[in-house]
Every structure is written in C-alpha cells, then in structure tokens.
Amino acid sequence: MNSPVLDERSKSVLLAIIDKYIESAEPVGSRTVAKIHPEHLSSATIRNAMSDLEDNGFLSQPHTSAGRIPTDKGYRFYVDHLLRPQNFLMEAENLSATRNLEYPSGKSNLQSVLESACDSLSTVSQQTGLVMLPSFSTTCFKHIEFTKVAPQAALAVFFSEQGILQNKVLPIESDMTQDQLTSISNYLNDEFSGKPIKWIRKELLNRLRLEKQHYNELARKAHDLSSALFEDTNNELLVQGALNLLDQPEFNEDIGKIKTLLKTLEEKTKLVNLLDLCLDHEGMTILIGEESLQEEMGNCSLIAQNYQLGTEKVGTLAVFGSKRMDYKKIISIVNHTAQRVSKLISENQGV
C-alpha cells in the first residue's frame, strides 16, 4: 500500500521531531517542536500534525503522557529526504573528522588501509564500523609460502596483488617434508602469479582432468594443496567499535537484547550476508530497523557503500548502530570514506 502524501507542514514537523529525537533520545512533545520549528507554529497546530503523523504510521507514542518518537516508516521518510540531491551535502565539519587514509610508507598493503578505514568509521560515527575485505575469488594471486607446522598440517601464507594477506592452515599427508612444501610454493608462484583466483581454480581442475595420468607424486600433492587453498571461503569482515552500542541509551533498557546484538557482531555471519546484498546494489544502501534487518537488529540501522577498484565493486564498508544514529553526519562519512578507499586502491593498482 502506498504511503500517504504529506503536506509541507507535516513534513517539516516530522523532520523536526526526528532531528530532536536523534539529538536527545527522548520522546518529543508539541511544546518542544513549537520552540524549534522555523515557522513558529502554535502547540495546537503541531499537536494536530503529530496526531495525523501517528495515524499514518510515521510516529508512535511510547506512553500516553509522553511525546512522540519516529517509527521505521518515519526514519525511512527522513533518510529518503536526506538522500535527495539538493539535500545530500558533504558537510565540511563531518569530513574533516575522518582519518586521512594512506598506504603505509613503502608498502602495498590494502588490508592496513581497510583496517584504518574501519577504525575511522567507528571513531567518527561513535557507532560500529564494518568493512568487508574483497572476496577471495576476486583477488589476483601474487605469492604463496607453505610452512609445515605439525605432522599433518601446513600454514599457507597468501599474498594478493591488491595487498591482502591471508593465512590458512591446510591438512597435509604425514610424509610431506618442508622441502616438498617449498617446491610446491615455487611451482605455484611460477605458474600462477598475477592470475585471478577464479581462473586458477578452473585451470587446476582442467590440468587435473587432462593430465592426470602424467602427474608425478609431487605434482599431485601440489594440486591437492592448492585446491584446498583456493576453494571458496566466506568473505572476511572487519569490525570496530562494537561496544559503542552500549553508549546508546535505548540499548540500556534490555540487557538481553544488547547481549544478542553483541553476539551477532561477534559471529559476523549475518552481517556478512547483509553486506553481500549491499555489494549487489548500486550506490548507497540504508537498511532501517525491521524493514530489512534480522529481528535481533530491529533497533538498528546500517549505512553501507561499496568501494571499487577502477569501475569494479570489490567490497563494502558500513556503519552499523542505533536506529537513532545521526544520519546526516554518517551518510556523508560513509560516502566520503568509500570514495577515498576506492581512489587509493585504484591509484595503487594503476587502474
């Protein structure tokens, strides 16, 4: 069902209430709106507008004697209003607070840039920063080192062309020596350096299928190890500032809910799934309350933006936190950080 069209007075009252509620975390009454409304409307006029907004689902009244607070529908109107081109301003005071992201001197380490971006998002927003590293399958292989760490286990240290470092412990046969592991490392580095992981997986399958009869024992072990290394894995998610949720008064009323929320942040799986969905979208994605998030995230919002290598989307960064977050500030911060990360990694890769 389509939402009712709001007249200009109702819009201005709704926006004023949400601005004040974001600032104070307290239900907003008509007298408060009368003091801050630019048209200096009477309390009676504002009460009528608030009653209509409540009837239409934009506001709710937590207690009979209390003022109003925004619903998910109210927040959605507010955010859509902010995202209109004439309203979407990159405010200088917001951007000046963001960290100046740079590659470490003399290093091509994308992961350190993304860790810095995640920390900056959390610090400036006072919410939780999220950054999803580029999907393993989209990266290009640069270098691999295998080290025997147990009779039947080897540590693989993988370096991508984009500067991502990943470690993975792989099962090996008990008779495999360190010299054999070094030979396998040299084989993979010589054969596949600079190639995309997706291509390598297909090429390994083709070689196994076409030349299986001609392989010696070491080649077989090399392909077994590399197949385990290059298999699809879940994207890695960086999380910073989860405890910032405890500073929001709305989460202090229900300890059970905040525990569940912190567990969700710790386990990461649901957040990875959300950011995977965001990666499929163009532009900024804003999820508010229960309209798109899981039940345990019903008091939260997510503001996400993809970052790119050239014109290719490779990952997503976001701010996750209270539904009462400062959308004006955080939308600007997320957008600016995504643009900065995209520019840095594209210039570093010569794209």
Give the pLDDT band of residue 113 (cuts 50, 70, 90): confident
Give the pLDDT band of residue 199 (cuts 50, 70, 90): confident
Domain that holds residue 58: 8-82
In a domain, 3, yes or no: no
Percentage of the chain with pLDDT > 70? 83
In a domain, 271, yes or no: yes
pLDDT at 1 exceeding the cut of 70: no
User: What pLDDT, on the 0 to 100 scale, is given for residue 129?
Assistant: 96
CATH of the domain at 70: 1.10.10.10
| Other beta carbons less than 10 A from residue 167's beta carbon | 8
Work out the average pLDDT over 241-258. 85
Q: Do 183 and 250 fall within a single domain? A: no
User: What pLDDT, on the 0 to 100 scale, is given for residue 193?
Assistant: 87
pLDDT at 74 exceeding the cut of 80: yes
Question: How many structural domains is the chain composed of?
Answer: 3
Give the pLDDT band of residue 302 (cuts 50, 70, 90): very high
Give the pLDDT band of residue 92 (cuts 50, 70, 90): very low
User: How confident is the model over 259-272, as pLDDT tens digits?
Assistant: 888 888 888 888 98
Percentage of the chain with pLDDT > 90? 36
Q: Do 222 and 319 fall within a single domain? A: no
Give the pLDDT band of residue 110 (cuts 50, 70, 90): confident
Work out the average pLDDT over 219-244. 78
Q: Which of 11-20, 50-59, 190-199 has the lowest mean pLDDT?
A: 190-199
d(CA 46, CA 33): 7
Q: Do 196 and 322 fall within a single domain? A: no
Closest to 307 measured CA to CA, from 220, 226, 238: 238
CATH of the domain at 172: 3.30.390.10
Q: Which of 38-42, 128-132, 176-180, 229-233 has the lowest mean pLDDT?
A: 229-233
Q: Do 160 and 22 fall within a single domain? A: no
Which of 197, 229, 261 is the last residue in one of the domains? 229
Q: At 21, list the tokens.
A: 């509620």
Closest to 63 measured CA to CA, from 88, 29, 92, 39: 29
Q: Do 36 and 77 fall within a single domain? A: yes
289-292 long-range Cβ contacts below 8 angstroms, 24+ apart: 289/72, 289/75, 289/323, 290/72, 291/72, 291/76
pLDDT at 38 exceeding the cut of 90: no
Contact 13, 37 (CB under 8 A): yes
Q: Give the global pTM.
A: 0.78
CATH of the domain at 296: 3.30.450.40
Q: Do 200 and 314 fall within a single domain? A: no
User: What pLDDT, on the 0 to 100 scale, is given for residue 257?
Assistant: 81
Which of 188, 214, 229 is the last residue in one of the domains? 229
User: How confident is the model over 131-164, as pLDDT tens digits?
Assistant: 998 876 667 788 889 999 999 999 988 887 766 6
Q: Which residue has the higher pLDDT, 20 or 111?
A: 20
